[in-house]
Amino acid sequence: MTQLIKGLHHVTATVNDAREDVHFYSNILGLRLVKETVNFDNESVYHFYYGNEIGLPSTIFTTFPYKGQGISKGVIGSGQVYETVFSVPAGAFVFWKKRLENHDISVDEEVRFDKKFLLFEDPSGLKLAILEDSADRRDPVWETEEISRNEAILGVHHVTLAVEDPGKTVAFLENFGYQSIQTDGTYTLLVALGSREVDKKGENDTSGDDSEGNVLVHGAGNSIVVMAADGLPAGINGLGTVHHVAHRVETLDDSRQIKSELEKEHGIRVTEIKDRKYFKSIYFRIPGGVLFEVATEEPGFLVDEDREALGSSLKLPDWQEPRRNQIEAGLEPFR
């Protein structure tokens, strides 16, 4: 598995109101709504994908707005993704602090790994953060009338996992395809080995070197932080919690190999391959309880919409298309 995981693919959360969700992530955070579809496992619920202009893997944050579906507010705690951290260009920190405060969003600041984090929550209570990263050059950046490319969110930088036994979880992740490169108190930062490159000219920004001298590309979109869940309650899925974090692989054969190794060598139960239209996925829980997904990089979000039209209308997979009228009737308009 070591070289198969290329980094993060997306983060998926359970949220409350659809209209409120789209306003926050699209209008306030300035992410592009690249796909409007439904939860393939519950077609009465939207599935929104937010990201950069074309929704490249590692830029994607997705939500299931479950308002009115009888889902209780969740508990953020151990066994979950505790926090999602977004990356912005160097110099954008002050812009984002002012922007969030101007929208009456409470913010806090914290230093980890010698970097300053801007902490805040979304309307459903999800824990989010913004981090400046001068080495993050992911493109194409999505700009809005209020947010230029000099400030725009570039994608998910990393997620923070809260677990009861950090050592056990870190050991699994190092087997899964990540390498520990830095610690800060109870935090351990890991970067995907599949994202590493040999820097022969010394021109690339890096996060660290592996034992063979290969240079790891910078951690934006390729990183996980493991945090000791000291004093936190056990996490309970529900409104305002992250459901899972997905990791990207190049091919479906890579997913099959990972599934085989997880089951045979680690005794971890893995789902069958699921067709999510824009990628194909497997799911499993890691030591520590966090739900992981492994998703293919292809085919992506341009399979059913042109670049300019992304996110402009409800898209359904072929197997749901015959029920479009019924599905649309069960969804509350959010525009």
334 in a structural domain: no
22 in a structural domain: yes
pLDDT band at 218 (very low <50, low <70, confident <90, very high): low
pLDDT tens-digit profile of 257-268? 999 999 999 999
pLDDT at position 195, please? Answer: 80
**DSSP result, 206-251:** EEEE-TTSPEEEP-TTTEEEEEE-TTPPBPB-SBTEEEEEEEEES-
pLDDT at position 211, please? Answer: 40
Considering the chain, what is the average pLDDT of its residues?
93
145 in a structural domain: yes
Say which CATH number the domain at 182 has: 3.10.180.10
Mean pLDDT of 12-25: 98
Closest CA to 182 of 158, 163, 207: 207
Task: Say yes or no to pLDDT of 36 above 60.
Answer: yes
58 in a structural domain: yes
- Give the tokens for residue 127: 């824990």
Task: Say yes or no to pLDDT of 204 above 70.
Answer: no
Residues 6+ apart with CB under 8 A from 30: 142, 143, 144, 146, 147, 152, 153
Q: Residue 189 in contact with residue 117, Cβ under 8 Å?
A: no
CB atoms under 10 Å from CB of 152, counted, come to 21
pLDDT band at 196 (very low <50, low <70, confident <90, very high): low
Task: Say yes or no to pLDDT of 209 above 60.
Answer: no
pTM equals: 0.93
Task: Say yes or no to pLDDT of 18 above 80.
Answer: yes
Mean pLDDT of 208-220: 51
- The number of distinct structural domains making up the chain is 1
88 in a structural domain: yes
Mean pLDDT of 313-320: 96
pLDDT tens-digit profile of 227-277? 999 999 999 999 999 999 999 999 999 999 999 999 999 999 999 999 999
237 in a structural domain: yes
The Cα–Cα gap between 154 and 88 comes to 6
pLDDT band at 208 (very low <50, low <70, confident <90, very high): very low
pLDDT at position 1, please? Answer: 67
61 in a structural domain: yes
Write out the residue range of the structural domain in which residue 317 sits. Answer: 7-329
271 in a structural domain: yes
pLDDT at position 202, please? Answer: 35
